[in-house]
Structure 1
Amino acid sequence: MADATMGRTARAPARREAMVSPRARRTITSVVLAVLCAVWVYPIVWMISASFKTNNEIFGDTGLIPDAPTVENYARAWSEANIGRYFFNTMFVTVGSVVVTVIATALMGYVLGRRRFPGRGLLMGLMVFTLFIPQGYTIIPVFELLTTAGLGQSLWGLMLATCGHSVVIFTLLFAGYFAQMPKELEEASRMDGVGPVKTFWYVMLPLSKPIVVTVVVLQTLQAWNDFLLPLVITLANPDLRTLSVGVYSFRGEHFIDWGGMNAASAITIIPIVILFLFLQRYFIDGLAGAVKG
């Protein structure tokens, strides 16, 4: 009798679990994720809505839909606040840093991932150690180095300084991805008389397209949204400001232009959102491949 009672008690949770169908679990999961997504997206929706409102309407509790939508904030941000110039500066710094970072980290990752040489483990350990150094501690040395090189007051200097933020992470991503590629690819290239540089450029790099896109997306986000480094480098020359620093200029000593700030912020994030929507599939594949490797 006791054994039978225990058996019925053990089977009860199983029956209750079976009562929840896979379709119901999917529905519950979708609802929960939809709520989390709404909470996550709401600040962006509010920002875009506020960019079409006047300052009085923003604080008038009129809801997300503007009573009288206006593009004056965008016109003021683009022309009077010089956002057009800052947009060009940001594009220059972002594109240049992406090109330099992808080529440099791909080369380093190829060597670390495909070659075994004395001190390789120590070198990778030192690279990982640099990840624990806060950015604030490196800004002054970087600025001094740029000044010594004569690039302290130029977009070229800002672009080169922006390249150094995530070099270690990207190098390790490339190393992990290259390490999982079959050795037969390099052996076939050597049999055809192709040198290591051409093997990397024409064989290995094209096959690493997912990780290249991953690095492009991450470096673009880093360069486009960086604030502290451009703020320090452009203090003496406001014409070199990037968008992140330019948005901050809407904050005055006694007044904040919330409409213009939201319009400038919308201009800032739209290119990044479009880029990620087009490249998200390669971005996810690249991360998955690097982790697997």
Structure 2
Amino acid sequence: MSRRRRALRRLPWWIAAAVLAIGCLIWIYPFLWMVSASLKTSAEVFTKGLDLLPGDPAWSNYERAWVEAEFGKYLLNTVIVTVCTVVVVVVRCAMTGYVLARHDFRGRRIIMGVLVATLFVPAGYTIIPLVDLSQKLGLLNSLTGMIVAMSGAANVAAILLYFGYFRGIPKELTEAALIDGAGFATVFFRVMLPLAKPVTATVTVLTFLSTWNAFFLPLVFTFSRPDLRTVSVGMLAFIGENATDWSGMAAAATISLLPVVALFIVLQRYFIEGIAGAVKS
């Protein structure tokens, strides 16, 4: 193994750069093709194949996706659901991870075992009782019900990230705050949660991605309310009985991906620090 590492280190830098460049191109090519397809006509999507350069950029595809397909409304619904879900998940998982990491109480190991066991339960198994409960509470076919359903999942990965991070923080820090008269809420919100900024960024990105791209649950919650659809469900508007508007769908997909890319660019440093810190702990 050491010989292989030494051999790799002896390679010229331009070979490593070329390999990485090819890997990056393969990785981002589907995204580039989608952006290119959003500027093509429906005929060009098939005739030009893998070509990334459209003949005459059809910017009308974005107008058709935004106005005719009402994608602007779907985007607003998605932003509302995603932001509210992220806030609820971050606060709930951070508090759960903090209590499990910093407080020793009876049944703590059982709770951890149950949380880990939920990782092996498929999400589809819970959809029937979830919809039934939402209907009885009067939350079905509403953005509020969708937010409660999306944020009410176990989110075990987020809890474990906070658990690992809080466990690595010295206990003297919280003890000093308690001596100064700070209560549980003050210690958590003013001391511990600000220190967990990298993990919060990581959980924010992961929750944002899963909520933004969710399809099955928003589809069930908007069966009788098409005006409440999210962007992932709104893609169905481009699929007709006899034809599919591929260029319009590509334009809508490009619009829906822009917030995700922007968020990751802003939080990528904290995202990597949060993953590394939780794993190291």
Q: TM-score, normalised by structure 2?
A: 0.94
What corresponds to 1:221 in structure 2?
Answer: 209
Give the secondary-structure state (helix, strand or coil) at the position aligned to 1:235. Answer: coil
- AA at the equivalent of 2:22: V
Task: State the distance in 2 between where 1:239 and 1:131 align.
Answer: 33
Give the 5 Å matches for 1:43-62: 43-61=30-48
What corresponds to 1:35 in structure 2?
Answer: 22
Task: State the distance in 2 between where 1:91 and 1:108 align.
Answer: 25
Larger deviation: 61-70 or 177-186? 61-70
Task: State the distance in 1 between where 2:269 and 2:148 align.
Answer: 29
| Structure 1 position 104 matched with structure 2 position 92 | yes
Give the secondary-structure state (helix, strand or coil) at the position aligned to 2:11. Answer: helix
Distance 1:17 1:280, change over 3 A: closer
- AA at the equivalent of 1:268: S
| Structure 1 position 70 matched with structure 2 position 71 | no
2:223 to 232, 235, 238: 235
Q: TM-score, normalised by structure 1?
A: 0.91
| Structure 1 position 201 matched with structure 2 position 183 | no
Shift of 1:291: 0.7
- AA at the equivalent of 1:122: I
| Kept in 1: contact 2:141–2:223 (CA 8 A) | no
1:146 to 134, 139, 142: 134
Number of aligned positions between the proteins: 278
What corresponds to 1:245 in structure 2?
Answer: 233
Unaligned runs of 5+ in 2: none
Task: State the distance in 1 between where 2:246 and 2:191 align.
Answer: 51
Shift of 1:181: 0.2
| Kept in 2: contact 1:74–1:260 (CA 8 A) | yes
| Kept in 2: contact 1:166–1:219 (CA 8 A) | no
Task: State the distance in 1 between where 2:14 and 2:136 align.
Answer: 61
Percent of paired sites with the same residue: 50
Give the 5 Å matches for 1:73-222: 73-165=61-153, 167-222=155-210
| Kept in 1: contact 2:198–2:273 (CA 8 A) | yes
Deviations 1:225-275 (A, max 9, x none): 111111111112111110001013211121000010000000110110011
Unaligned runs of 5+ in 1: 1-13
Shift of 1:21: 7.9
Q: State which structure, 1 or 2, has the greater radius of gyration over its C-alpha atoms.
A: 1
Shift of 1:46: 0.4
Shift of 1:56: 1.1
Deviations 1:130-156 (A, max 9, x none): 111111111111111111111101101
Task: State the distance in 2 between where 1:108 and 1:83 align.
Answer: 37
Task: State the distance in 2 between where 1:124 and 1:21 align.
Answer: 42
What corresponds to 1:7 in structure 2?
Answer: none
Q: CA RMSD in A?
A: 1.7
Task: State the distance in 1 between where 2:44 and 2:184 align.
Answer: 63
1:270 to 253, 258, 271: 258
- AA at the equivalent of 2:124: G
2:248 to 239, 253, 260: 260
Task: State the distance in 1 between where 2:154 and 2:55 align.
Answer: 44
Larger deviation: 62-71 or 226-235? 62-71
